[in-house]
Amino acid sequence: MMNRIKDTFQRVWLLCLLQAICAILGFLGESLAGRFVLNLTFVAQFALLTVLLNFHLRALKNLLNTFWSLTIILMLFYAMAFFRNALVLDNMLASAWYLSALFLLGLSAWQISSPLYYPMVQWWEYDFRFRPDIRVWVEIANEGHRARLTDLRRGAGCVVMFQAAAVGSWINVTTDVMTQKFGMRAQIVSRKEPILGRAFIYGVRFDTEDLEQRQRLKLLTNYWNESKKLKIRSKFDALK
C-alpha cells in the first residue's frame, strides 16, 4: 500500500513537471510568433512564469495548501492563453501547448485531491455541531483514543486526534452507525504536525482487500455523506 501511495505522488510530480514544460513551450511559441523575443517584456513575463511554476512545484513537493491557489492561477492563465492563441492570434502550435498544460495540470490536481495528501479540516467552523465530521474511536497497539473523521473520499480518510502515531501504523477506526458499532481497519500513510492547540492530522487508507471490507467502506462513506448533509441543513435552520 505504501508503495502505491509513493507511486501516485511520483506520477503527480511527473505530470506537474510535464505541464510546466508545456507551458514554457507554449510561451516561447507565442513569443516567437509575435516576434517579441529577448526584449524587456519577454524577459519579465518569462521570469514571472518560471518563478510561478517553481513555487507551484515546491508547494506540491512539500504538500503546502498554496498548491491549490497556484493551481487555480495557472489554470486561468493557460485557459486565457489557449483562447487567445486559438481565436485571436491563430497560433495553433502555441494553443496546443497551452491546452496540453491545462489538461496535465487538471489531471494532476484530480489525482492529488485525496485525504492522503490534502485532507479537508474545517478549522474555521468553531461550532462542532455543524462541522462535517463524525466522532470515532481509534485503537492503536491496543490503546484507544478519541478522534474525529473529517474527510472520507476515494477510499481514504482523514483522522484528527491528539495522540501521536507513526506513519505506516495500522489502526482500527470504530464509530456508531444506526446505533450499532461499526469498525474498519486502516493504515496511516501521511501525518501533518499540529500547530499549538490543535491535533495531529492523519491521512489513512482503509483496508479493502476483501468484499466485506469494501462493503463496510461503502456503508461508512454513505453514512459520512448523509451526516454532512444533515449538519449543513441544521446550520441553515439554526440561522433562520
Q: Is the pLDDT of residue 4 over 60?
A: no
> Which pairing describes strands 170-177 and 180-192: parallel, antiparallel, or unpaired?
antiparallel
| Mean pLDDT along residues 124-135 | 70
Select the more confidently predicted residue: 215 or 97: 97
| pLDDT at res. 238 | 62
Q: In this predicted model, which residue has the larger pLDDT, 86 or 239?
A: 86
What integer is the mean pLDDT of 79-108?
A: 94
Q: Which residue has the higher pLDDT, 104 or 143?
A: 104
C-alpha cell at 239: 440561522
Question: Does the pLDDT at position 1 exceed 60?
Answer: no
* Predicted pLDDT of residue 235: 66
Q: Is the pLDDT of residue 156 over 60?
A: yes
What is the model's pLDDT at position 23? Answer: 96
Residue 218 vs residue 69, higher pLDDT: 69
pLDDT of residue 21: 96
17 or 127, higher pLDDT: 17
Closest CA to 12 of 112, 99, 155, 113: 112
* DSSP structure string for the chain: -HHHHHHHHHHHHHHHHHHHHHHHHHHHHHHHHHT-TTSHHHHHHHHHHHHHHHHHHHHHHTT-THHHHHHHHHHHHHHHHHHIIIIIS--HHHHHHHHHHHHHHHHHHHHH-STTTS----TT---GGGSS-EEEEEEETTEEEEEEEEEEETTEEEEEESS---TT-EEEEEEEETTEEEEEEEEEEEEEPPPTT--EEEEEEE--SSHHHHHHHHHHHHHHHHHHHHHHHHHHHHH-
| Contact in structure between 165 and 171 (CB atoms under 8 Å) | yes
Q: What is the mean pLDDT of residues 166-179?
A: 83
Mean pLDDT of 158-167: 88
Taking phi over 0 as left and psi of -120 to 50 as alpha, with beta for the rest, 197 belongs to left
What residue has cell string 500500500? 1
Give the architecture-level CATH label for domain 128-239. Beta Barrel (2.40)
State residue 13's pLDDT score: 92
Per residue in 24-79, pLDDT tens? 999 998 888 876 666 677 788 889 999 999 999 999 988 888 999 999 999 999 99
Please report, for the chain, the start and end positions of each structural domain, with discontinuous segments joined by +: 2-112, 128-239
Mean model confidence pLDDT for the chain: 84
